[in-house]
Amino acid sequence: MRHPNVPESLEGWWILHRMYSFDRIAWDRLDAGERKEIVAEAVKAFESLKHNDADCGLAQLLGHKADFMITHYARNYEGLAHAQIVVDKLRLSEYLMPALSYVSVLELGMYEATAKIHAALAQRELKANTPEWNAAFDEMVAEQGKSPHFGGRLWARIPQRRYVCFYPMDKKRGEQVNWYTLPYEERGRLMLDHGKIGRTYHGQVTQVISGSIGFDQYEWGVDLYADDPMVFKKLIYEMRFDEASSKYGHFGDFYSGVQFSLDQLETYLDGTGVPALNAEVLQPA
């Protein structure tokens, strides 16, 4: 049964974030030849996780919470399990201490579209949650997923922009302030206003929202990618004044850093410089 107060969503890539502390002192104790062997093995493994059904991104994180982040995309849940095993078996993992992980699935919310679908089905005088109503509902949702507005975003690859910021978030559901007890129309209005702020940063930032209800501690994960890290501060600060965030938003820790290409892994691990981002983007089939 589909509850009339629940907005539909479209899902794309499964996403796994893994953050680590890097034991650089132990790494430096290895002789140069052994380090090169470990790097070569790791690069080959990461390359194997970048194809039409998966993607993989690396980032150096700033601050003490974690040093290194791997972002995995996969077309199915088992793909994330495979990626986790591949990384755990690397010799490099001996020098990576887990700091945080986050499991989610790329999600496009459909507040406005869901309301229109319900209205259209009501005009057709179909009784809610009958087999005929459900079939029509599923067909209309599927059509939304084929539209250029939604379809291209569901399977876009990890944005190749220099700076990345990740954070998890919830909508408050306490006794006094509870997002989930608001009327559907009010939530839809708030999310529409919230989205307008993000659209003013079009071209400056690429945003990836992923749903994590049932998969991790928070309800959503947010990835921001930009060519200027100052954009993160300005966008997030401005959104704090929006009611959907100021009254109903609850945020976890923020992780930010620089993305780099696979061929820059040795530079990062050896600490000979800040690793660069110059990777080619593999387009999905």
Nearest CA to 87 out of 64, 54, 65 is that of: 54
Instruction: State both tokens at 37.
Output: 């062997």
Provide the phi-psi class of 125: left if phi over 0, else alpha when psi is between -120 and 50, else beta.
left
Helices (H), 6-31: 24-29
Sorted by sequence, the CB contacts under 8 Å of residue 200 that are 6+ apart come out as: none
Residue type, 179: W
Nearest CA to 171 out of 212, 232, 117, 110 is that of: 212
Instruction: State both tokens at 159.
Output: 């944005």
Q: Is position 95 annotated as part of the catalytic site?
A: no
Catalytic-labelled residue, pool 73, 111, 167, 268: 167
Nearest CA to 72 out of 82, 63, 64 is that of: 82
Instruction: State both tokens at 54.
Output: 């998966």
Sign, Cα dihedral of 104, 106, 108, 114: negative
Sorted by sequence, the CB contacts under 8 Å of residue 98 that are 6+ apart come out as: 18, 19, 20
CB 219 within 8 A of CB 124: no
Find residue 226's DSSP bridge partners: 163, 205
Catalytic residue annotation: 167
